[in-house]
Amino acid sequence: MKTALITGVTGQDGSYLAENLLKKQNYKHVIGLVRRRSADGVNRLEQIQTHPALTIMQGELEDAGLLARLFSVYRIDECYNLAAQSFVRYSFDNPVATAMTNYIGVINLLEAIRHHSPNTRYYQASTSEMFGGLTEEYLSENHSFHPRSPYGTSKLAAYWHAVNMREAYGLFTCNGILFNHESPRRGSEFVTQKIAAAAVRFRAWKNSGGMGEPPVLRLGNLEARRDWGHAQDYVEGMRLMLQEEEPGDYVLATGQAHSVRDFVELSFAHPEVGVKIRWKGEGLNEVGSDADGRVLVAIDPVHYRPSEVHVLLGDWKKARECLGWKPQFSFEDMVDQMIRAQVARREGHGPTA
């Protein structure tokens, strides 16, 4: 019977991972690290908040002393480090805060493990952003890195720190190099959730009689392509990595890329929304309209990034062969789930996150 610590438990992945572990027979205790908020920040834990095997502890990755105490007091078998400043756009304006959580926080955690609990198995939430998106190739664990944002550089530093602790001190550290994964619990500023919310906002406008102008979805780069999977599949992959005999680094991806434009078209074409988007114009002047010529999508350069990650496409062969991992949700299933969850939320009968 194991004890697991999840940092970032209030996030998209952390909440799914906590549910995943609590459903398994062999976890007697799941500890979730939560940072203090001025308002309630545990919406995504609605379904498990009162589970007897879940303990919520307050703390942040920047607090080395707290982490040391945590690993001295509890016998933690597995540590999943999912806490991060995870929004790429924000990292350009806030590089130091991003590095403090995403890199220094990882040093703090691994020092606590090294000194107080060297047998703890450690999962590091690494990312396809480390590759930088300058090539159309399928990206595997062996591909070189070229991060294109302060977020990417902070995550790459953390990646190498986890590898170094494995090589220097024999710690059981794994990097999950995860490509984008989404779900109804995705944060509202990420492009997929932003699009799903906008499509459903348009549906509400239409259903209430369509008076005045429809709401406009303002986006940045429509041509960016991502290998989008479903978060519930990916948290299972994280768990599997820590069950292996030897530590290692694994890509989790689907092997299919879609553009932001594809995501818009599919979301608005969803049966709940029912609009075929027609594109007109170029660059900053491009707009997406409905059959009556009403503008529903426009470009706002504020969403462009100083340097863009153009395309990410993952090769997940190692995860398939070594972990037996395989994504279960298709891209279309995921979009469908996100739209339906937005509809339920808007109509007041869905989970709040």
Summarize as ranges the residues that interact with ligand G4F (CB under 6 A).
86, 88-89, 127-129, 179-180, 189-192, 194, 219-221, 224, 226, 260, 303, 305, 308-309, 312
229 by DSSP, 3-state: which? strand
Q: Does 32 bind ligand NAP (CB under 6 A)?
A: no
Which residue, 177 or 199, has its beta carbon nearer to ligand NAP? 177
27 is catalytic: no
Burial of 245 (0-12, 13-18, 19+ CB in 10 A): exposed
Helices 331-346/260-269 angle, 10° precision: 60
Which residue, 61 or 242, has its beta carbon nearer to ligand NAP? 61
Q: What is the smallest separation between the CB atom of 259 and ligand G4F, expressed in angstroms?
A: 9
Distance (Å, rounded) from C-alpha 217 to C-alpha 293?
15
Which residue, 277 or 309, has its beta carbon nearer to ligand NAP? 309
Which residue, 142 or 188, has its beta carbon nearer to ligand NAP? 188
Q: Does 327 bind ligand NAP (CB under 6 A)?
A: no
One of 180, 193, 232, 342 touching ligand NAP (CB under 6 A): 180
How many other CB atoms sit within 10 Å of the CB of residue 50? 8
219 by DSSP, 3-state: which? strand
Contact partners, residue 228, CB within 8 Å, separation at least 6: 179, 180, 181, 182, 192, 254, 258, 263, 331, 334
Q: What is the smallest separation between the CB atom of 129 and ligand G4F, expressed in angstroms?
A: 4
Number of residues forming the site for ligand NAP (CB under 6 A): 26
Token representation of residue 25:
């027979």
Q: Does 58 bind ligand NAP (CB under 6 A)?
A: no
Q: Does 86 bind ligand NAP (CB under 6 A)?
A: yes
Token representation of residue 131:
């590759």
127 is catalytic: yes
Q: Within 13 A of 319's CA, how many CA atoms are on the CB side? A: 32
Burial 60-97 (b: 16+ CB within 10 A, else e): bbebeebbbebbeebebbbbbbbbbbbebbbbeeebee
Which entry of 123, 151, 234, 250 is annotated as an active-site residue? 151
Distance (Å, rounded) from C-alpha 307 to C-alpha 126?
20
Q: What is the smallest separation between the CB atom of 175 and ligand G4F, expressed in angstroms?
A: 12
Which positions from 184 through 203 interact with ligand NAP, judged by CB under 6 A?
187
129 is catalytic: yes
Residues that bind ligand NAP (CB under 6 A): 7-8, 10-14, 33, 35, 37, 41, 60-62, 82-86, 101, 125, 127, 178, 180-181, 187
- Residues catalogued as catalytic: 127, 129, 151
